[in-house]
Amino acid sequence: MLSWIAMAAMAAPAEWVALAPEAGVLHVLSPDRAWGSPGLVQALQNASRLVAARFPDADPVVVGDLSSPGGGPLEGHKTHHEGRDADVGLFLGAGGQPEGGFVEVGPDRLDLDATWTLIQALLDHPDVRYLLLDQAHIDALRHWLSVERGMGSATLDAIFPAPGAPWGLTAVVRHAPDHSSHIHVHIGAEPES
């Protein structure tokens, strides 16, 4: 039996969509590397619009690479081949986004409220399988959610599975090295029709 990872790797999207910038909502760093499946583009649009509505003074969400038009290997990435991956900026300070490009930051630089709102909105999209983020940022978010939102450890463990937990879980935030500058979003394959 194939794992969902193997199945997702076999399926390329039937349709490719370019993620367009939206004033005050969403900033695209490289339009020629901002192509993805419809579900990925919709997830990014929905999440950015929700954050802009909740935090009207915050910067637009900076979106880095999705895929090249039609997919294939993308310089600087191990994934991003098939329109199912995107890199998204973290909120820094008070509603700031790295408009000049992603920068590695420590968790003390994060705007945890806005960053959590963005993460939650991404996880709410039914196509989103997982987000990748540095463990130090995950630890800061967990602490903030526990203290500021009263979130219990069972809920936190379900959203942020411990390193080494099975990969079948969906709509979760996982640790990955080299992810202190951005959030990596991965969506699942569309159903075969």
**Residues at the contact surface with Zn ion, assessed by CB under 5 A:** 87, 184
- Rounded to whole angstroms, what are the CA distances from 175 to 58, 63, 137? 26, 20, 9
Query: Which residues share a beta bridge with 63?
Result: 28, 88
- Closest CB to Zn ion among 87 and 127? 87
- Closest CB to Zn ion among 174 and 184? 184
- Residue 77 beta carbon to Zn ion: minimum distance, rounded to whole angstroms: 6
- Closest CB to Zn ion among 16 and 145? 16
Q: In sequence order, what DSSP letters do the residues of 114-136 get, joined into one string?
A: HHHHHHHHHHHSTTEEEEEE-HH
Work out whether strand 128-133 and strand 35-36 pair parallel, antiparallel, or are unpaired. unpaired
- Rounded to whole angstroms, what are the CA distances from 148 to 14, 50, 63, 130, 191? 42, 20, 27, 24, 38
User: Residue with CB nearest Zn ion?
Assistant: 184
DSSP-derived secondary structure letter, 163 = T
- Closest CB to Zn ion among 134 and 145? 134
Residue 88 CB-density burial (10 A; 0-12 exposed, 13-18 middle, 19+ buried) = buried
- Closest CB to Zn ion among 129 and 145? 129
- Closest CB to Zn ion among 37 and 145? 37
Contact 29, 62 (CB under 8 A): yes
- Residue 53 beta carbon to Zn ion: minimum distance, rounded to whole angstroms: 26
- Residue 105 beta carbon to Zn ion: minimum distance, rounded to whole angstroms: 16
- Residue 132 beta carbon to Zn ion: minimum distance, rounded to whole angstroms: 7
- Residue 112 beta carbon to Zn ion: minimum distance, rounded to whole angstroms: 21
- Residue 70 beta carbon to Zn ion: minimum distance, rounded to whole angstroms: 18
Query: Which residues share a beta bridge with 186?
Result: 85, 130
